[in-house]
Amino acid sequence: MNRLKKLFSNKNAEILNIYFTAGHPKLDDTVKIIDTLTQNGVDLIELGVPYSDPMADGETIQNSSSIALKNGMTLQLLFDQVKAARKISEVPLILMGYYNQMIQYGFDRFLADCQESGVDGLIIPDLPMSIYERDYKDFFDQYDLKMSFLITPETNNERILMADKLSSGFIYVVSKSSITGSAKAIDQSQKDYFRRIEDLNLTVPRLIGFGIHDRETYLTACDNSNGAIIGSAFIRAIDQAEVLESSIKEFVSEIR
Name the catalytic one among 57, 113, 120, 164.
57
Please give the Cα distance from 225 to 243 (Å, whole number). Answer: 33
CB atoms within 10 A of CB 118: 18
Phi-psi label, residue 228: left if phi above 0, alpha if psi -120 to 50, beta otherwise: beta
CB atoms within 10 A of CB 245: 14
Specify the amino acid at residue 243.
V
Known active-site residue 57 = yes
Name the catalytic one among 46, 113, 120, 164.
46
**If 0-12 CB within 10 Å is exposed, 13-18 middle and 19+ buried, where does residue 20 land?**
buried
Q: Could you list the active site residues? A: 46, 57
